[in-house]
Amino acid sequence: MSASSILTEPANLNAYHPATVFDGRADTGWFEAVAGPGLGQWLEVGFTEPLRADRLTISPGWLDARYWQQNNRIRTVSLIVDGGTSMTFQLTDTMTSQTIQLPRVLTGRTWRLRIDAVYPNTRWDDTTITELGFWLNNVQYQIDLGTFACGLQVRRP
């Protein structure tokens, strides 16, 4: 897994590691770390073998009523598969996991999500993805976090 930038905290350098989008918790997530809202920043998931998916789910902000509006929430996101196929999706400013329905089954080893636009924060100019899911035929892939450092392993739906 990789990202264009990763916010860190002195006490916990992995606090905002990209892998936290697969830990099932809405109070952990990847944060970009550039000045401003992070437009153009991206999170990329690389799998050890091509993954087929027809839907993604994304939590485009911190899913906690105290912090949702204090950070940016993603309004427009682009999906780039294997550096080629690129699609853009609009998300709503609602504190829920949201569905990205793909127009067809896509297959790829690397899936990059790029922040294109955000709903503005009230306090911190940071943008996060707290959860991410890959789906095929209404079944979600189970991602094994133990192997993320050398490529993600998935169990087939």
Which residues are at the interface with Ca ion (CB under 5 A)?
A: 20, 23, 25, 28-29, 130-131
Q: Which is nearer to Ca ion, 20 or 71 (CB)?
A: 20
Least separation in angstroms between CB 104 and Ca ion: 28
The tokens for 71 are 């950070």
Q: How far is the CB of 27 from Ca ion (least distance, A)?
A: 7
Please classify residue 60 by burial: count the beta carbons closer than 10 Å to its beta carbon, then call 0-12 exposed, 13-18 middle and 19+ buried: buried
Min dist. Cβ of residue 136 to Ca ion (A): 21
Smaller CB separation from Ca ion, 18 or 38: 18
- Provide the token pair at 87: 């699609």
State the pairing for strand pair 128-129/139-140: unpaired
Q: Which residue has the tokens 């793909």?
A: 102
The alpha-carbon radius of gyration of the chain (Å, integer) is 15
CA atoms within 13 A on the CB side of 56: 29
Nearer to Ca ion, 71 or 130 (CB): 130
CB nearest Ca ion: which residue?
28
Residue 42 or 62 having the CB closest to Ca ion: 62
